[in-house]
Structure 1
Amino acid sequence: MGRTTSTRGGWGRAATVAVTVICLAYAPVAMTELWPYATPGAPAVGEWLLGRSVSPEFVAEAVRDRMGPYERSLAPLIVHSVLGGLLMLLGPVQLLSAVRRRVRLHRIAGTVFAVTVYVSMAGAALYLVRTPPAEAFSGAAFWIVLATILVGTVGSVTFGVLAALRGLPDLHQRWMLLCYGFLMTAPLLRLEWGLLPSLYPGLDMKDINRVAIMHLGALVSFGALLASRALDRRAAVPGLTGTWCPLPVRVAAHLAGAAGLVWITVAFLDEGTAGRRLLVAYLVPYAVTYAVIAVRATRAGSRGAHWAREEWSLHLTALCLAPAFSAVTVPVLERTLGLDRITALTAGVGIGCGMLAYAAVTVVSLRILYARELLKRQGEFAEAPSSRAKAPATAGAAPEGGQG
């Protein structure tokens, strides 16, 4: 047990250091990314690095593709990117201050963080509202994924703030980690801009982005879940009994997920080489995520950690339902937005895991709130007979005291 705890602690520290390094490295990239669009020739750290890791031609093509969509909303996008860089700096401050219990620093930084998220996302929202999906940078699928991430980020930080105000630190922690996970899609996407061209030489930025959005939502929400479970070491939650994931629910979710995966696989294979490339980018991370969560849920159950098993099970159920959700979403996107099959397929699959992870955190929150409400009602029920028993004694004592 000691060795297991030590190993987990080592992995946790390594993950914290890795995330902090990525955030600190990406902050100047984000803050300078759009300067050249406003002032040609202005320094941009990201373009300089990308030109040397891939090629100057790849960067030039990317800049050309972004120029048209960005020019109509350049000011809001600059606000979004500069404040996005600030969020990359505030994130590690929030995490480390929480772990080290620096309450005052955590509250101040958290307030600044929440306000910065709202203003930064407002800039991104203006860009999305002013830009039709088909005319957006990297196309309609990328626009849909960006819009979904924006809604998820704003929703997560809002629920995180409300949980803090209500004095619910465990829920606050989960929502803020999910919020920061969604924000981490930006630096991780830039890393994929530098790495994927070596795996797929000749692909342009649009196709690189399509590959990336196949798994970024799943990866960041999975990272948020791992962080939440690492910080919450409770074996049980007061008032929590039973499970919201009984065997019939798990079986039904797995059957629905298997049907969704079959449908997605067939649909992507029908799209030729591009479809097979996107399918691999989706299935491999999905399989790894499923395996890790399933193993963690089983291990938690074997050691009697009921709460850990419940949370892992809820997230595993949501992950199973993600392919089914995507399979249903694809025809809806085709009909409502007039998208072609490959674009609707890419968008529907790209948002599936992230949206179901958001739903899982919502259910986990309701699970905790229900346990607290049940505990509260049990306490009130226990107090009621006690109060009635004391009432006659109190009534009799008053006259006695009066006579004395």
Structure 2
Amino acid sequence: MRRPTGTTWRRAAVIAVSAVCVGYAPIAMTELWPYARPGAPAFGEWILGRVVSPRYVADALATRIEPYRHSLLPLIVHSVLGGLLMLLGPLQVLTAVRRRTRLHRVLGVVFAVTVYASMAGAALYLARTAPEEAFSGAAFWIVLATILVGTVLSVTFGVLSAVAGYPDLHQRWMLLCYGFLLTAPLLRFEWGGLPMIMPGLSMAEINRAATMHLGSVVAFGALIASRSLDRRRKISGMSRSWAPLPVLAVAHLAGAVALTWIVRSGLDFGAPGRRLLLAYLLPYAVTYAVMASCALRTGREGRPWAREEWRLHWTALCLAPVLSAAAAPLFELTLGLDRLTAVSAGAAIGCGALATTATLVVSLRVMYAREVLKRAAPARATAPRLSSPVS
């Protein structure tokens, strides 16, 4: 029996993600219709009510009527355009694979404009909604705001990379952007799946657990996709690593201290704290193990560019708890949050924010290497040629 090749796995992943996106599109587009017209069809509620229970859905959405009512139009714009983005994403991948460059560019412009318009609707909702009034509370509001910023930044950098002639960086940023957009359907999967594993939890409690890792999971998925598409062994102009062993060691030490603080803070709050810690630590450990093994393996295989990218993201992952630990007291002081909410909000945004930072550092690494080549070219052209020795 033949083992699946890398191409087979990539094709299967594209088909799976495309199926999720196409299936979620009508759910996203109709999700808020009942708030505008009671009794209107909402496919997501219908499916969730049968997967879990109608009472589970009714209890969760009963508290949403007032917060949604004063921002209903921006939310409808956000959700309908979000459904359109679910369809545009697979089309962009298909046109890129098929090398339909002109169609890819046209759809890319439509995609970028749609992202900005959809995120504008979400921004209006967040601006009009107090953090404590958001679904599942202030931590969820903070996570939504962070994902919004990450989505806008990634699509902006993706457009700028394409204009500047960096197709490899354009690909990375657009994959990260789409990863952030995929937090919406993945959250719905957790709404339906986690009650089977942890029965008795409300949707709000499941929401809080899901936000502890969704940002980091989709960012990690975008990295895996980027690395699977980039088969270059090295990049011309790249010399020393920007993440040498001393930097990695310092990042590990700082991350270990911050992670210990996060764990101790979570354990102070009994079962709720332990549940949130599990939702955070298990994906973090898996991501760490994959990044570490890939960085070491590509180094042994003599693939310096792959090793460099893995090490930059590995370093960022180690530093993510540092950002989380620093953000928690800031949220507690500025927003008046209780300690558990502040710690969970800080932990929820750390990995996604540092993954975005790592993608920015990777971009700067590629741009710096190209600049090194540009500066070296005139020097090579003007260098005197040695004459052949006379016999």
TM over 0.5: yes
Correspondence for 1:135 among 123, 133, 152 = 133
TM-fit CA distance, 1:385: 4.1
| Aligned twin of 2:102 | 104
| Aligned partner of residue 233 in structure 2, secondary structure | coil
* Residue pairs, 1:2-41, within 5 angstroms: 7-41=5-39
| Aligned twin of 1:241 | 239
| Aligned partner of residue 283 in structure 2, secondary structure | helix
Give me the whole-angstrom Cα distance separating, in 1, the residues matched to 2:160 and 2:367.
13
Give me the whole-angstrom Cα distance separating, in 2, the residues matched to 1:235 and 1:203.
48
* Residue pairs, 1:1-400, within 5 angstroms: 7-385=5-383
TM-fit CA distance, 1:382: 1.9
TM-fit CA distance, 1:260: 1.4
Amino acid at match of 2:318: C
| Aligned partner of residue 5 in structure 2, secondary structure | helix
Give me the whole-angstrom Cα distance separating, in 2, the residues matched to 1:235 and 1:202.
50
Cα gap change, 1:85/1:386 in structure 2, threshold over 3 Å: closer, same or farther? Answer: farther
Give me the whole-angstrom Cα distance separating, in 1, the residues matched to 2:282 and 2:384.
59
Q: Indicate the larger mover: 204-213 or 182-191.
A: 204-213
Identity %: 66
Q: Residue by residue, what CA displacement relative to the aligned partner does 1:233-255 show, whole Å, maximum 9, x if unpaired? A: 10001111110011100000111
Amino acid at match of 1:35: W
TM-fit CA distance, 1:198: 1.6
| Aligned partner of residue 237 in structure 1, secondary structure | coil
Give me the whole-angstrom Cα distance separating, in 2, the residues matched to 1:180 and 1:243.
29
Q: How many residues align?
A: 386
Amino acid at match of 2:380: A
Give me the whole-angstrom Cα distance separating, in 1, the residues matched to 2:3 and 2:317.
27
| Aligned partner of residue 43 in structure 1, secondary structure | coil
Q: Residue by residue, what CA displacement relative to the aligned partner does 1:110-144 show, whole Å, maximum 9, x if unpaired? A: 11000000000000000000111111222110000
TM-fit CA distance, 1:224: 0.2
Amino acid at match of 1:101: R
Give me the whole-angstrom Cα distance separating, in 2, the residues matched to 1:293 and 1:6.
22
Q: Residue by residue, what CA displacement relative to the aligned partner does 1:325-344 show, whole Å, maximum 9, x if unpaired? A: 10111001101111100111
Greater fraction of residues in helix: 1
Give me the whole-angstrom Cα distance separating, in 2, the residues matched to 1:174 and 1:143.
27
Amino acid at match of 2:260: V
Cα gap change, 1:6/1:307 in structure 2, threshold over 3 Å: closer, same or farther? Answer: farther
Give me the whole-angstrom Cα distance separating, in 2, the residues matched to 1:294 and 1:360.
15
TM-fit CA distance, 1:7: 2.6
| Aligned partner of residue 287 in structure 1, secondary structure | helix
Amino acid at match of 2:82: G
TM-fit CA distance, 1:89: 0.2
| Aligned partner of residue 121 in structure 1, secondary structure | helix
Root-mean-square deviation (Å): 1.6
Give me the whole-angstrom Cα distance separating, in 2, the residues matched to 1:201 and 1:69.
27
Q: Residue by residue, what CA displacement relative to the aligned partner does 1:364-401 show, whole Å, maximum 9, x if unpaired? A: 000000000011000122234469xxxxxxxxxxxxxx
Amino acid at match of 2:61: V
Give structure 2 stretches of 5+ with no counterpart: 386-391
Cα gap change, 1:380/1:236 in structure 2, threshold over 3 Å: closer, same or farther? Answer: same
Amino acid at match of 2:134: A
| Aligned twin of 2:389 | none
Q: Residue by residue, what CA displacement relative to the aligned partner does 1:317-357 show, whole Å, maximum 9, x if unpaired? A: 00011111101110011011111001111110000000000
Give structure 1 stretches of 5+ with no counterpart: 388-404
Q: Residue by residue, what CA displacement relative to the aligned partner does 1:146-171 show, whole Å, maximum 9, x if unpaired? A: 00000000000000001111111011
Choose 1 or 2 for highest CA Rg: 1
Amino acid at match of 1:26: Y
Give me the whole-angstrom Cα distance separating, in 2, the residues matched to 1:198 and 1:272.
22
| Aligned partner of residue 238 in structure 1, secondary structure | coil
